[in-house]
Homo-oligomer: A and B are copies of this chain.
């Protein structure tokens, strides 16, 4: 009953594209270009997945995941994000290196491996890009990822990722005393240049708007 790597890729793409598009229904060409394949290839694979009741056909070339298809897609996303977290936190990979390897690792079939890895990492809720990690049931925190520049004064938030992953920026971030999961309190914003004052570990720091735009947080 195990799916091939290719079948899994289609289910995951269908899930991601429908989230992105904000609709359950995704067209053949859309899926094909999402995977970098010809529409004809997507069409025949989707028909095959329809036979396996993982996908449902919905007139005029639109496709939807069935509950089972969605469940599998979420498990793939779970595995992908857990592996990214592992690579980042345990093996010293950088933010931009994790995706490519996780793309391979997500196709390893072993229920035990996933659960043990999750436990080993301390049941993380977000990956190094700040995206939520679904649990065994496929449930995840639907947080709206904000940039630090969008946080209102007075709010307390937590750093979950950065947009700019250049060595220079990461260096600056850590000099300020910030790291993944750091608590940040937004003290004040100056209207003049949108620069902000933040409180980190009791210390107060000034950062530019450009800096704030490159830091992803969730309000806690």
Contact = CB atoms under 8 A, between A and B. Distances in A.
Contact of A108 (B105, B112, B113, B117): B105
A184 B112 CA distance: 33
A114 to B, nearest CB: 10
Given A101-B113, A113-B101, A120 B108 contact: no
How many copies make up the complex? 2
B116 A93 contact: yes
A120 B110 CA distance: 22
A117 B92 CA distance: 10
A110 B100 CA distance: 9
Given A87-B113, A113-B87, A101 B108 contact: yes
Interface of A: 87, 90-93, 97, 100-101, 104-105, 108-110, 112-113, 116-117, 120
